Amino acid sequence: MTQTISPIIKPEELLSLKKISGIILIDARAGANAQEQYEKGHLEGALFVDLNTQLASIKSDPSLGGRHPLPSPVQFAQVLTQLGITPESHVIIYDDKNGSNAAARFWWMLKSVGHNKVQVLDGGLDAAIKAGFKLSSNEEIPHNTEAYKVSKWLLPLAEIDEVANAAKDTNFLVIDVRDKVRYDGDKEPIDLIAGHIPGAINIPFTSNLNTDGFYLSPSELRDKYVEALAGKKTEDVIVHCGSGVTACHTILAMAYAGIEFPKLYVGSWSEWSRNKRPIATK
């Protein structure tokens, strides 16, 4: 899918935009007390979106699609309508994890329904505050809009059997973006079993960032992923994480580098590890 605006926006750019034109700013913090933290203080004008209830359709059994399965396109369209987002809206998303959590997931979902003007705030909440953004505890009210119409996900997705076949085929590439300690099987703080998909390579999503928590430059990211792909087409590349959320951070990094979208395995390790699939460790 062709990028017409940069998927990343710097805090200073956002500050200028807020002064001259209307945008829809989204706070996508996640975690047990995310909404409470949002209500205590968010970027002025930002609406809250909830990872678990609005950006996922969580099932009682994570073996069926993982911990954060995608909602249906119809459900997602309802979320966009509730937030006052139209196909013409300029949406800018931030979280408190340098865009690695639900901000990247929401960005991917919007791109996957064909939404053009969507960006993730580089450096996230902390960077915005340092740049001079004011925090607010006010209740933010979305604008009323016509229903956002969504028919299907447009970006490429991979299911568990396709991932299993790709991981065994040297013509394909499966990228695990979790931390190395999880990939190696040394530690698993979230899912039931430690390790990784045999054949998958590890490129932690944190390596997309510099020491200050900002994305590497597009040229640095392009060099990094061109080398990793080693001539493979992006349609033969599958990216996954623990539950299909932080994998979107790497897809965002690739898009920022001008690389076409690879496939996203939404079920990720949370699904794979619960289905008696082979597991490798270091």
CATH number of the domain that residue 218 is part of: 3.40.250.10
Give the DSSP H or E segment for 136.
strand 135-136
Banded pLDDT at 43 (limits 50, 70, 90):
very high
82 lies in the same domain as 174: no
pLDDT of residue 1: 42
Q: How far apart are the first and last CA of the chain?
A: 36
The whole-angstrom separation of Cα 154 and Cα 178 is: 25
Is residue 144 domain-resident?
A: no
The whole-angstrom separation of Cα 101 and Cα 117 is: 20
199 lies in the same domain as 80: no
Active-site choice (47, 102, 120, 241): 241
pLDDT reading at 14 higher than 60:
yes
Choosing from 102, 136, 170, the residue where a domain stops is 136
34 lies in the same domain as 98: yes
Is residue 100 domain-resident?
A: yes
β-strand pairing of 42-43 with 135-136: antiparallel
28 lies in the same domain as 95: yes
30 lies in the same domain as 109: yes
pLDDT of residue 98: 84
Cβ atoms 200, 174 nearer than 8 A = yes
pLDDT of residue 3: 47
Would you state the structure tokens that stand for residue 90, as one six-digit string?
A: 């300029």
The sign one gets for the Cα dihedral 120, 244, 171, 262 is negative
Beta carbons within 8 Å of 198's beta carbon, 6+ residues apart: 167, 168, 278, 279, 280
Choosing from 85, 101, 136, the residue where a domain stops is 136
187 lies in the same domain as 247: yes
184 lies in the same domain as 241: yes
Is residue 61 domain-resident?
A: yes
Residue with tokens 């960006």, as numbered in its chain: 119
Is residue 155 domain-resident?
A: no
Give the distance between the most distant pair of CA atoms in the chain: 54
Give the DSSP H or E segment for 43.
strand 42-43
Is residue 2 domain-resident?
A: no
Is residue 1 domain-resident?
A: no
pLDDT of residue 20: 58
pLDDT digits (tens, 9 = 90+) for 171-213: 999 999 999 999 999 999 999 999 999 999 999 999 999 999 9
36 lies in the same domain as 101: yes
18 lies in the same domain as 91: yes
Cβ atoms 204, 179 nearer than 8 A = yes
Residue 241 falls in the annotated catalytic set: yes
100 lies in the same domain as 191: no
Is residue 37 domain-resident?
A: yes
Choosing from 91, 120, 136, the residue where a domain stops is 136
Question: How high does pLDDT run on average in the chain?
Answer: 95
β-strand pairing of 201-202 with 135-136: unpaired
Cβ atoms 100, 241 nearer than 8 A = no
253 lies in the same domain as 196: yes
The mean pLDDT value for 124-142 works out to 95
Is pLDDT larger for residue 250 or for residue 17?
Answer: 250
Q: What percent of the chain shows pLDDT beyond 70?
A: 98
Would you state the structure tokens that stand for residue 125, as one six-digit string?
A: 């909440």
Is residue 145 domain-resident?
A: no
**What predicted TM-score, i.e. pTM, was given to this entire model?**
0.96
14 lies in the same domain as 104: yes
pLDDT of residue 21: 66
pLDDT digits (tens, 9 = 90+) for 81-94: 999 999 999 999 99
Structural domain boundaries enclosing 38: 8-136
Q: What percent of the chain shows pLDDT beyond 90?
A: 93
Beta carbons within 8 Å of 251's beta carbon, 6+ residues apart: 104, 108, 239, 261, 262, 264
Banded pLDDT at 100 (limits 50, 70, 90):
confident
Cβ atoms 192, 168 nearer than 8 A = no
Domain count, the chain: 2
pLDDT digits (tens, 9 = 90+) for 154-174: 999 999 999 999 999 999 999
